[in-house]
Amino acid sequence: KMPSVQQHQPMHGVELTSFDFSNEQLKGPVVIEVFCGSARVTASLKEVGLTQSFGVDHVLDKAVSAAKRLDLTQLEDQQLFLQWMSSPLVVGLFLAPPCGTCSLARNIQLMDEKGRKIPGPIPLRSAVWPEGLPGLGAKDRARVSAANTLYDFVAKVVALAHSDRKS
């Protein structure tokens, strides 16, 4: 019996960018956890019998289960992911895109222990400017642009998954 997900420790050396996804290599259904972070969903999937499942993220230092390193802001890595996704072995996707640049929590005024206002993260988007506020600094503009690329890719993946549904 596999240990509980809560007992998993980060796996080092789990990245593999030249992964060849073929029927010969895998023996069963696969769910791909996209933007997996710690890959705990993947670990849970393996515990319930989906043993060929794996995660995908650009950093894998906290992964507790099988994961492949892809930077989905890059076209080459997006194309590789879409190849994996087209395999008949893929029966599901779990997508949890990063939300740091669009979190409404950025609008909350932070207070110290004495109730004084303290600086916190600034809003990067608004309902009027969903692609990013004008006047952002270079670092924030780069973060918003990268997140926008990921959100566009997620929309493409969802549309493809929906159109390729196996009835």
Tell me: pLDDT of 26 over 70.
no
Name the nearest CA neighbour of 20 among 118, 72, 89.
89
Q: How confident is the model at residue 6 (pLDDT cuts 50, 70, 90)?
A: very low
Q: What does the alpha-carbon distance between residue 106 and residue 167 come to, in Å, rounded to a whole number?
A: 42
Residue with the bigger pLDDT between 25 and 149: it is 149
Distance separating alpha carbons of residues 149 and 14, to the nearest angstrom: 25
Q: Using alpha carbons only, what angle is made at residue 100 by residues 97 and 102, rounded to the nearest 5 degrees?
A: 90
pLDDT at 27: 74
On the question of pLDDT at 7 being above 60, the answer is: no
Q: Give the model's confidence band at 20: pLDDT under 50 very low, under 70 low, under 90 confident, else very high.
A: low
Percentage, residues of the chain above pLDDT 70: 82
pTM here is: 0.80
- CA-nearest of 19, 18, 60 to 42 is 60
The CA distance from 78 to 124, in Å, is 25
